[in-house]
C-alpha cells in the first residue's frame, strides 16, 4: 500500500480519513497540523520533515475547507508545494471519473461524485459527495464544489469559486473567479461580475475586480 502524509489545515479530517481508509489505496502514515497565520499564509512544516517524505517517496495531501474563499486551503497547499512535497490528487473509489480526465495536485473527488468526459479540474479543487461535473465543463483551481451540486455541460468556473450544497450551474454558464454561491442556488445565465449569494444577506453581492 502506498504511503500518505496528511497535512491538516482545517475542515473535516475525520471525513477524509474515513474515505481514505475505506478505499485502501493509501496507508496514512502521519497527520500533521499546519499553523494558520492569517490571510494567505500558512506556516510551512519543518523542511527536514518534507525532505524525509521526499526521500521515502511518500505522497502528500492537504486537507482544508472553503474558509477565506478557499485561500486557507490554498495557502497550505502552496506551503507544502514550496517545501518540495509530492502532492497527489485523491479520488474515492465510489466516485466515477471518466477516462482521460486529469486530476491535478490536491484535487479531492469525494464519495459518489461523477466527473464526465472532457471535464477539466484545476489543482487544489475539491468536489464533494454526490456532485456531478458535466461533459466538457471547466473548473478552475482552488474551487470548492459542495455536496449535491450539478455543473452542467460546458459550464466554466473561474478560480477560487465556492458552491454551497445543491447548487446548479446551467449549461454554458461562465462564472468569474471568486464567485461564491450559497446553498440550493440555480444559475442559468452568466453573471457579468463576480457574484456572492449569501443566505445571510437580502440581495446578491458583487465584486468588481
Cβ contact 103:109 at 8 Å: yes
Query: For cell 449569501, what's the residue?
Result: 198
87 Cβ partners below 8 Å, 6+ apart? 59, 60, 61, 62, 77, 80, 81, 105, 106
Rounded Cα distance between 101 and 72, Å, is 26
Binding interface with other proteins (CB under 8 A):
37-41, 68-69, 71, 160, 177-178, 180, 192-194, 196, 198, 200-209
Q: Which is nearer to other proteins, 142 or 148 (CB)?
A: 142
Q: Which is nearer to other proteins, 41 or 135 (CB)?
A: 41
Rounded Cα distance between 82 and 77, Å, is 9
Q: Which is nearer to other proteins, 41 or 94 (CB)?
A: 41
CB 33 to other proteins: min, Å: 21
Q: Which is nearer to other proteins, 74 or 115 (CB)?
A: 74
CB 28 to other proteins: min, Å: 30
CB 72 to other proteins: min, Å: 9
Rounded Cα distance between 109 and 145, Å, is 10
CB 79 to other proteins: min, Å: 14
Amino acid at each position: 500500500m502506498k504511503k500518505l502524509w496528511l497535512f491538516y489545515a482545517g475542515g473535516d479530517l475525520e471525513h477524509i480519513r474515513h474515505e481514505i481508509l475505506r478505499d485502501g489505496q493509501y496507508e496514512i502514515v502521519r497527520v500533521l497540523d499546519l499553523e494558520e497565520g492569517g490571510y494567505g499564509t500558512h506556516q510551512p512544516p519543518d523542511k527536514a520533515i518534507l525532505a524525509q517524505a521526499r526521500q521515502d517517496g511518500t505522497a502528500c495531501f492537504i486537507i482544508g475547507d472553503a474558509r477565506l474563499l478557499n485561500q486557507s486551503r490554498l495557502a497550505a497547499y502552496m506551503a507544502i508545494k514550496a517545501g518540495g512535497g509530492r502532492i497527489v490528487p485523491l479520488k474515492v473509489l465510489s466516485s466515477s471519473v471518466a477516462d482521460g480526465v486529469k486530476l491535478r495536485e490536491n484535487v479531492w473527488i469525494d464519495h459518489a461524485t461523477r466527473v464526465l468526459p472532457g471535464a477539466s479540474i484545476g489543482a487544489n479543487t475539491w468536489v464533494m459527495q454526490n456532485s456531478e461535473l458535466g461533459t466538457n465543463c471547466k473548473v478552475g483551481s482552488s474551487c470548492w464544489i459542495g455536496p449535491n451540486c450539478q455543473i452542467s455541460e460546458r459550464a466554466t468556473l473561474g478560480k477560487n469559486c465556492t458552491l454551497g450544497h445543491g447548487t446548479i450551474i446551467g449549461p454554458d454558464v461562465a462564472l468569474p473567479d471568486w464567485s461564491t454561491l450559497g446553498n440550493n442556488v440555480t444559475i442559468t445565465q452568466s453573471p457579468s461580475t463576480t457574484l456572492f449569494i449569501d443566505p445571510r444577506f437580502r440581495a446578491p453581492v458583487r465584486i468588481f475586480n
